[in-house]
Amino acid sequence: MKRLKQILSRIDGKGYKAYKDIQGEYRFPRFQLMIDYVQGDPFAAPSRIRVRMPQSEAKYPASWYETPRRKQALEDWIARVWAEKTGRYSFRAKGTGKSGLIGVDRPGQEILPRTAAVVNDQFVEVRVTIGLPAQGRRVLGRKAEEMLCDYLPRLVDEATPADSIDRDGVEERMKLVDNQGAIRRFLSERGWIAFVANGSVLPRESGISDRPLRGKNVVQFQAPKSMEVSVDVPHGDPIRGMAIQDGITLIIGGGYHGKSTLLNALERGVYDHIAGDGREYVITIDDAVKVRAEDGRRVEKVNISPFINNLPFGRDTVRFSTEDASGSTSQATNIMESLEMGASCLLIDEDTSATNFMIRDGRMQRLVAKGKEPITPFIDKVRQLYEERETSSVLVLGGSGDYFDVADTVIMMDEYLPYEVTQEAKEVAQSQSNDRTQEGGEHFGDVTARVLSGKSFDARKGKKEKVDAKGLHSIQFGTSTVDLSGVEQLVDVSQTRAIAEIMRLIGKKAGGGKTLRQLIEEVYQEIEGKGLDVVSPFRGQHPGDLALPRQQEVAAAVNRLRTLRVD
């Protein structure tokens, strides 16, 4: 610390570049400070530092990080404490550019593996970004000293050791994630799709907020008796709620009665949520994928022939490519790409589907002969998908009773409460005979794994490599922009940043005859072994603003890269 003070006093008033001299490691009474990267000027991306407190000071009980789930939840907790404290009363230095800024990557409603904090037997480490104070482009050495040598140690004291981070809160968090894990195991042991606990609050505050809706008009979830199960959890009483089994589940009901809200909660249930979110016990199997229509997207040699055939001009649908997909071809593509990655459940909402992809009724079949219609509607494929490939579907469909014939379970939403109406739906289906003809053929058809060409990924922009997230739904990859607005289960911009980095790694591995799925799995094996830090260009130093995406979202991004080439 003394050495840091000396350097700061020496460079006080000099040009900003002089700050580079403070790069290095310093010993403070209770922690170690690593200044990994010093920004080039006051307006540039902020500097990156790490503080590392040994467990002899932090004193975390080993039980807080003894399982991967607990460790991940604890690291998330620490990132939250830091993000909150730095956001609330940040060090304010008057000065130019980012002077005085202190920040830690802030988690949202989900508990994700992230790189902002690390806990192990030896230490607790937090990755922080700071703006080194400047007046004009001159070093404000005194201010920097105040920031790094007074303010920072106080922050470390308040936001790191076990005694100052709300022990009870952490203990509660541990119980929560243990219970969430138990429900996930419950589902996977049975091969089921999802669980929604009684009392859950599904609606969100607004279309742009992920916080729970509050107030007296909120209707808490209550399982229909016929679908209610009780799950034993390690902490507290068994949790009761609605289980969605594998197969084909239909969510019907009047407009504005909460169908999409339920489906959205299921989409997000692939992640664990924090206490108070309202969805903390809404759990969906990890690899469920929301698929929607996404016209305008690019497609590179995807086998969409299970759904689309006989396109005008004899266009190939076994290796289908386009720069500008239609609603139905994009939805078919999104499904086939999800299956390529092994999705075991599809989540589909009428609000974001192409009508002609979902249904084709008897009258239309009569007027437009099968030979003139390239699309085989999803209704004729959904059972094959389940019976031959064990891929379930949960469908929101308020507008067509044709699906009653193919559904295993029908849930009706009525004033935000679910009722099971499978029996009634089957009776309607029997009494009102349907004059549709099955168009799905004998089998679902093939899901074709694609081999990526090494030429697909050029991360260069000018002479340098440049990959980054431009917000939650956009990635800049070299000179191309990847549009992820149709990828609805991406929840955190830190995931988007991680995807950008993972794509860079995939680009380095591609070309050896490996399929997209193999390439992604290889990167995830590395992450499994060494932690998410491995995907960062700052690995070993400060990879502090990444969160783990699912393999499905990585594939989605690669699939939307406009330079992607399949051999």
Complex with ligand ADP: residue 214 or 363, whichever CB lies closer: 214
Complex with ligand ADP: residue 29 or 207, whichever CB lies closer: 207
Contact region with ligand ADP (CB under 6 A), list: 36-44, 171-179, 259-267, 282-290? 259-267
Q: Measured between alpha carbons, how far apart are the two ends of the chain, in Å? A: 57
Complex with ligand ADP: residue 143 or 279, whichever CB lies closer: 279
Contact region with ligand ADP (CB under 6 A), list: 10-18, 215-223, 281-289, 471-479? 215-223
Interactions with ligand ADP, residue window 195-214 (CB under 6 A): 202-203, 213
Give the x/- contact pattern for ligand ADP in 416-435, rule: CB under 6 A: x-------------------
- Least Å distance, CB 220 to ligand ADP, is 7
Complex with Mg ion: residue 182 or 417, whichever CB lies closer: 417
Using CA atoms, how far apart are residues 305 and 308, in angstroms rounded to an integer? 5
Provide φ and ψ at 391, rounded to 5°: -100, 120
Complex with ligand ADP: residue 349 or 380, whichever CB lies closer: 349
Binding site for Mg ion (CB under 5 A): 259-260, 351
Q: Which of 475, 559, 459 is nearest to 515 (CA)?
A: 559
Distance of CA 432 to the CA centre of its chain: 42
Name 215's Cβ contacts closer than 8 Å, sequence gap at least 6.
Answer: none
29, 234, 255, 529: residue in contact with ligand ADP (rule CB under 6 A): 255
The residue type found at 308 is: I
Using CA atoms, how far apart are residues 453 and 457, in angstroms rounded to an integer? 9
Name 89's Cβ contacts closer than 8 Å, sequence gap at least 6.
Answer: none
Complex with ligand ADP: residue 150 or 414, whichever CB lies closer: 414
Complex with Mg ion: residue 4 or 395, whichever CB lies closer: 395
Contact in structure between 519 and 452 (CB atoms under 8 Å)? yes
Complex with Mg ion: residue 42 or 258, whichever CB lies closer: 258
Q: Which residue is nearest to Mg ion (CB)?
A: 260
Complex with ligand ADP: residue 206 or 431, whichever CB lies closer: 206
Token code pair at residue 497: 């940043």
Token code pair at residue 2: 């003394």
Using CA atoms, how far apart are residues 253 and 180, in angstroms rounded to an integer? 29
Q: Which of 491, 479, 561, 480 is nearest to 519 (CA)?
A: 561
Using CA atoms, how far apart are residues 60 and 330, in angstroms rounded to an integer? 50
Complex with Mg ion: residue 233 or 394, whichever CB lies closer: 394
* Residue in this structure with the two tokens 């993972």, named with its chain if needed: 502
29, 121, 217, 463: residue in contact with ligand ADP (rule CB under 6 A): 217
- Least Å distance, CB 221 to ligand ADP, is 7
Between the alpha carbon of residue 489 and those of residues 127, 363, 492, 554, the distances in Å are 26, 36, 9, 11
Contact in structure between 248 and 380 (CB atoms under 8 Å)? no
Complex with ligand ADP: residue 47 or 261, whichever CB lies closer: 261
Token code pair at residue 491: 């929840």
DSSP string for residues in 164-194: GS-HHHHHHHHHHHHHHHHHHHHHHHHT--E
Using CA atoms, how far apart are residues 150 and 139, in angstroms rounded to an integer? 18
Phi-psi region of 417 (alpha: psi -120 to 50; beta: other; left: phi over 0): beta
70, 127, 257, 560: residue in contact with ligand ADP (rule CB under 6 A): 257
- Least Å distance, CB 210 to ligand ADP, is 12
115, 179, 260, 496: residue in contact with ligand ADP (rule CB under 6 A): 260
Contact region with ligand ADP (CB under 6 A), list: 164-172, 183-191, 249-257, 334-342? 249-257
- Least Å distance, CB 400 to Mg ion, is 14
- Least Å distance, CB 349 to ligand ADP, is 7
Contacted by 80, from ligand ADP, Mg ion, none: CB < 5 to 8 Å by type: none
115, 129, 261, 284: residue in contact with ligand ADP (rule CB under 6 A): 261
Contact region with ligand ADP (CB under 6 A), list: 252-260, 329-337, 366-374, 505-513? 252-260
Give the x/- contact pattern for ligand ADP in 370-409, rule: CB under 6 A: ----------------------------------------
Angle at 68 between CA 286 and CA 339, to 5 degrees: 20
Collapsed DSSP state (helix, strand, coil) of residue 276: coil
Token code pair at residue 17: 């570049």
Does residue 256 interact with ligand ADP by CB under 6 A?
yes
Contacted by 203, from Mg ion, ligand ADP, none: CB < 5 to 8 Å by type: ligand ADP
Contact region with ligand ADP (CB under 6 A), list: 258-266, 294-302, 442-450, 542-550? 258-266
Complex with ligand ADP: residue 169 or 199, whichever CB lies closer: 199
Q: Which of 412, 248, 337, 372 is nearest to 564 (CA)?
A: 337
Task: Report the 10 Å Cβ neighbour count for 312.
Answer: 6
Using CA atoms, how far apart are residues 215 and 198, in angstroms rounded to an integer? 18
Q: Which of 153, 122, 141, 411 is nearest to 265 (CA)?
A: 411
Complex with ligand ADP: residue 174 or 251, whichever CB lies closer: 251
Angle at 65 between CA 60 and CA 67, to 5 degrees: 160
Contact region with ligand ADP (CB under 6 A), list: 61-69, 178-186, 250-258, 498-506? 250-258
Contacted by 494, from Mg ion, ligand ADP, none: CB < 5 to 8 Å by type: none
Axis crossing angle, helix 68-88 with helix 152-159, rounded to the nearest 10: 140
Phi-psi region of 24 (alpha: psi -120 to 50; beta: other; left: phi over 0): left
Contacted by 255, from Mg ion, ligand ADP, none: CB < 5 to 8 Å by type: ligand ADP
Does residue 543 interact with ligand ADP by CB under 6 A?
no
Contacted by 432, from ligand ADP, Mg ion, none: CB < 5 to 8 Å by type: none
Number of residues that bind ligand ADP (CB under 6 A): 16
* CB-neighbour burial class of residue 5 (10 A; exposed 0-12, middle 13-18, buried 19+): middle
- Least Å distance, CB 413 to ligand ADP, is 6
- Least Å distance, CB 359 to Mg ion, is 16
- Contact residues for ligand ADP (CB under 6 A)? 202-203, 213, 217-219, 253, 255-261, 413, 416
